[in-house]
Amino acid sequence: MMSVSTQDTAIRTGRVTRALIYLVLLLFGLFYLLPLYVMVVNSVKPLDEITGGGMMNLPRVFTLEPWAKAWSSAQIGVDPTGLQPYFWNSIKMVVPAVAISTVLGALNGYVLTKWRFRGDTILFGLMLFACFIPFQIVLIPMARMLGLMGLAGTTWGLVLVHVVYGIGFTTLYFRNYYAVFPTELIRAAQIDGAGFFQIFWRILLPSSGPIAVVSIIWQFTNIWNDFLFGASFAGADSQPMTVALNNLVQSSTGVKEYNVHFAGAILAALPTLLVYIVAGRYFVRGLMAGSVKG
């Protein structure tokens, strides 16, 4: 009888504890989502509703005009171009930078685990160390190199910067993922006459889906959200979305259009949000697989 009573008490206590945990998590979730709520709600309001002190209220008049203006006609610096051309600048920068850094990281991981050589551990340690170098330290040497290569102020210059800075991370991911890939398969392929790139493209790369997703999401998020490199190395015709968003907020024609600023901020953040919504679960799976394989 005592055992049954103790069990019932433990069950009730467990339910109360679980309810408290869920309540605390819900409060933290609401607190975390509050800025997003403010941005979304105020991006679909007329400006007079915001300036009238109703920032936290739902819109009395729903309008998408701030979104249209932020995209196509908002004042960006001295030109009323909106964010549209800078969005395509970011796309032209992000896609090749992510693709190149991911492929190079996969090749580096392949070499460091399956074609080992004297000093490979030291080389990997130096590449890993590069992951922790602050952005600010590389600004002057990178600007010097871009100038010597004739890539200063160009989209391809930004691509090079992000490839160089991201290759340490992608190498780390693929190296850990390939670390326990069966070396016997590599040796068997060599006996059958397969070369370096044949083994990579036909054996290793097809099995690298989970970690490739991790690398792509990581690189896409970091490159798309970067402001410092874009502000430092981009020219007037190659500025990415984050730099244009800053110029949008700083530009003024006499009235601060907060609804347009909120809409522009959401437009700038939308690609990374969509990437995480669509592929977030694969990101977690890839990290889990990498941790087991590493």
Sequential DSSP letters for 282-294: HHHHHHHHHHHH-
Same domain, 129 and 19: no
Q: Are 278 and 97 in contact (CB under 8 A)?
A: no
For tokens 């006996």, what's the residue? Answer: 191
Same domain, 178 and 274: yes
78 assigned to some structural domain: no
Same domain, 107 and 220: yes
Strands (E), the chain: none
Mean pLDDT of all residues in 121-138: 84
Same domain, 22 and 89: no
The DSSP bridge partners found for residue 76 are: 79
**% of residues, the chain, pLDDT over 70:** 92
In whole angstroms, give the CA distance from residue 196 to residue 10.
61
203 assigned to some structural domain: yes
75 assigned to some structural domain: no
CA distances from 14 to 4, 9, 19, 150 (A): 15, 8, 9, 66
Look up residue 59 and give its DSSP letter.
P
Same domain, 25 and 124: no
Same domain, 161 and 26: no
CATH of the domain at 221: 1.10.3720.10
Q: How many CA atoms does the CB half-sphere of 254 hold within 13 Å?
A: 0
Examine the pLDDT at 290 and tell me if it is beyond 70: no
Same domain, 92 and 238: yes
Same domain, 53 and 136: no
281 assigned to some structural domain: yes
Mean pLDDT of all residues in 251-259: 76
Tens-digit pLDDT profile for residues 35-58: 889 999 999 998 888 888 777 888
Same domain, 122 and 153: yes
Provide the number of structural domains found in the chain. 2
259 assigned to some structural domain: yes
Same domain, 157 and 47: no
pTM above 0.95, yes or no: no
Same domain, 35 and 134: no
Mean pLDDT of all residues in 186-214: 85
Same domain, 36 and 99: no
6 assigned to some structural domain: no
137 assigned to some structural domain: yes
142 assigned to some structural domain: yes
pLDDT score recorded for residue 1: 45
Domain extent, residue 48, equals: 15-63
